[in-house]
Amino acid sequence: MDRSKAGKIQKKHPDWSNDDCVRVANKKIWIGMTLDMAKCERGNPNSANPSNYGNGTQWQWGWEDYTPSYLYGGDDQIITAYN
């Protein structure tokens, strides 16, 4: 797998699982992925908007040229929703 796109991602991020690297290489978005995984595939978001309604900061990260355009999560940067 070293010469594949997933293999190159795995080499750069050895703490990510093989399955996660394959999903990132295949441009998949999923609940439970990290913001760093999304950035690996998409680059930095065009916007990062915090909100706090009394139960901690929640984030909306947005990319203009991707679908889904918005990923959501908390300060732990784990994706909990997207649209």
pLDDT tens column, 17-62: 999 999 999 999 999 999 999 999 999 999 999 999 888 999 999 9
pLDDT at 11 (0 to 100)? 95
Type of residue found at 20: D
Judged against a pLDDT cut of 70, whether residue 72 lies above it is answered with yes
pLDDT at 18 (0 to 100)? 95
Whether 22 contacts 6, CB under 8 Å: yes
In terms of pLDDT, which residue wins out, 3 or 49? 49
Q: How confident is the model at residue 3 (pLDDT cuts 50, 70, 90)?
A: confident
**Domains in the chain, please, with CATH?**
5-82 (3.30.1450.10)
Type of residue found at 12: K
pLDDT at 41 (0 to 100)? 92
pLDDT at 46 (0 to 100)? 98
pLDDT at 62 (0 to 100)? 98
d(CA 17, CA 14): 8
